[in-house]
Amino acid sequence: MGAPTGEQAVTLPVLVIGAGLAGTVAAARLQARGVPVRVLADRPGATLLHGGGWQLGPDALRESHPAAEAALDDALDFVRIGLESLALTEGLFDLPDVEGARRACELAPATHAVVDGFGKGHAVADLSPLGHPFAAMQGRGTVVTVEWPPYPDVFGRSFAAMAHRLEADPTEPARLIEALKRALKGTRHDALLLPPVLGISRTEALRRQVAAALGIPVGEALDALPSTPGFRLHAALTAWLNAARVPMQTARVASISLDPLGVQVGDLLVPARAIVLATGRYLTGGLTMHPAVREPLADLPLTPSVPTNPLWHARTDGPYDGRVFETGVGHDPGFRALGLDGRPVHPHVYAVGDLLGGGDTLTQASASGMCIASAWVAATTIADGFATGEKT
């Protein structure tokens, strides 16, 4: 196949397209294995909307993507170290979100995971100036009114905005603690549930600080949109790539060339040793919908196939045929992208994360598991090829 050959190919980087959960794990793993890598991405995707409860879905993965399930534990070990600031905790959690719904997940930042241990005697903080009915919607615990935040002008009056503000202003945590102490004075609660406002990149430190000051465990609910945990995850992924010194470039890739192997950015064809597509789904343009559902960078075939115009299949209980969310790029056990003949479209082109087809990972509750395991396998496959001096 027409990639650059010989010494030139060996020195070329692997190009990872996308810097969400999947692209970051792939790039960090390649870098850790000593493989030259570069990330190209143009804007945050679904990862910025992540609600905080990581759904790994090992059973669903075993059914639909056994290669991912087999690598899940190794991928998890790697991710927990890379995202140390999130203090990711494993378990079988049933966690509340800000709207009082319960969400099952197998991994969560400590600030949410700790809530699983709360008994019946906990307080729920009503941050009344924000005007969000968070506390009223919880249905468990006793609501206590907290006169914080003091700002009427918080953009969007969202928890995410408050979390940014709390971290940006070094005097703010003390103000929050004082307000919480006033709210809890004279009450006997054994824990405190907050909405997700405890900062963006130092959440665990802030949570411990607040818990130590109050003398009871403190935890946060998962979020809806805009999502504080999504902002935290995005920040932690970016910090991981920076700490690992992975070169990153903001760029929109227009297409992929298989011969010679490379990606087209504007007028430039950037040559690659291998390409990892971590471009997500509809939100980011990893898949496009008009005039038909397709993968736009290499026109990779999608599986399961979808109707040319999904709107023809509109149902009364939802806007689109379910296959629109199940479809995506097919892969071999090493997560090489498959072509029409069911064989890898190129020995060095990979697909990972939300871009993959074969099931709706949101309804199968396996989205995060799929992202990290597929990325880990693809990067490992590439690195093993490097290590054995595989010819391009």
Ligand X SMILES: Cc1cc2nc3c(=O)[nH]c(=O)nc-3n(C[C@H](O)[C@H](O)[C@H](O)COP(=O)(O)OP(=O)(O)OC[C@H]3O[C@@H](n4cnc5c(N)ncnc54)[C@H](O)[C@@H]3O)c2cc1C
Where on the chain is the footprint of ligand X (CB under 6 A)?
17-23, 40-43, 45-47, 49-55, 252-253, 278-280, 283-286, 297, 353-354, 367-368, 371
Question: How far apart are the C-alpha atoms of 264 and 257, rounded to whole Å?
Answer: 7
Q: And the tokens for 345?
A: 């479209």
Question: How far apart are the C-alpha atoms of 196 and 112, rounded to whole Å?
Answer: 9
Q: And the tokens for 80?
A: 């927990």
In the complex with ligand X, the residue whose CB is nearer, 111 or 279, is 279
Question: How far apart are the C-alpha atoms of 310 and 322, rounded to whole Å?
Answer: 9
What amino acid is encoded at 32 in this protein? Answer: A
Q: And the tokens for 176?
A: 């929050």
Q: Could you tell me whether strands 122-127 and 191-194 are parallel, antiparallel, or unpaired per DSSP bridges?
A: parallel
- Which are the contacts of 264, defined by CB distance < 8 A and separation ≥ 6? 253, 254, 255, 256, 257, 270
Smallest distance from ligand X to CB 328, Å: 10
SS3 127: strand
Smallest distance from ligand X to CB 190, Å: 27
Q: And the tokens for 199?
A: 């900062």
Smallest distance from ligand X to CB 54, Å: 5
Instruction: Say how many C-beta atoms besides its own lie within 10 A of residue 307's C-beta.
Output: 14
Question: How far apart are the C-alpha atoms of 283 and 285, rounded to whole Å?
Answer: 6
In the complex with ligand X, the residue whose CB is nearer, 180 or 371, is 371
Smallest distance from ligand X to CB 312, Å: 24
In the complex with ligand X, the residue whose CB is nearer, 112 or 126, is 112
The helix or strand, by DSSP H or E, that contains position 38, with its residue range, turns out to be: strand 37-41
Question: How far apart are the C-alpha atoms of 162 and 169, rounded to whole Å?
Answer: 11
In the complex with ligand X, the residue whose CB is nearer, 3 or 27, is 27
Do residues 47 and 234 lie in contact, with contact meaning Cβ atoms separated by under 8 Å? Answer: yes
β-bridge mates for residue 249, sequence order: 40
Smallest distance from ligand X to CB 47, Å: 3
Smallest distance from ligand X to CB 228, Å: 12
Q: And the tokens for 21?
A: 């959960």
What amino acid is encoded at 358 in this protein? Answer: G
In the complex with ligand X, the residue whose CB is nearer, 297 or 338, is 297
Smallest distance from ligand X to CB 149, Å: 25
In the complex with ligand X, the residue whose CB is nearer, 83 or 297, is 297
In the complex with ligand X, the residue whose CB is nearer, 193 or 375, is 375
Smallest distance from ligand X to CB 368, Å: 3
**Which phi and psi angles does 160 have, rounded to 5°?**
-60, -40
In the complex with ligand X, the residue whose CB is nearer, 53 or 149, is 53
Rounded to the nearest 10°, the torsion over CA 15, 21, 25, 27 is: 20
In the complex with ligand X, the residue whose CB is nearer, 51 or 173, is 51
Smallest distance from ligand X to CB 55, Å: 4
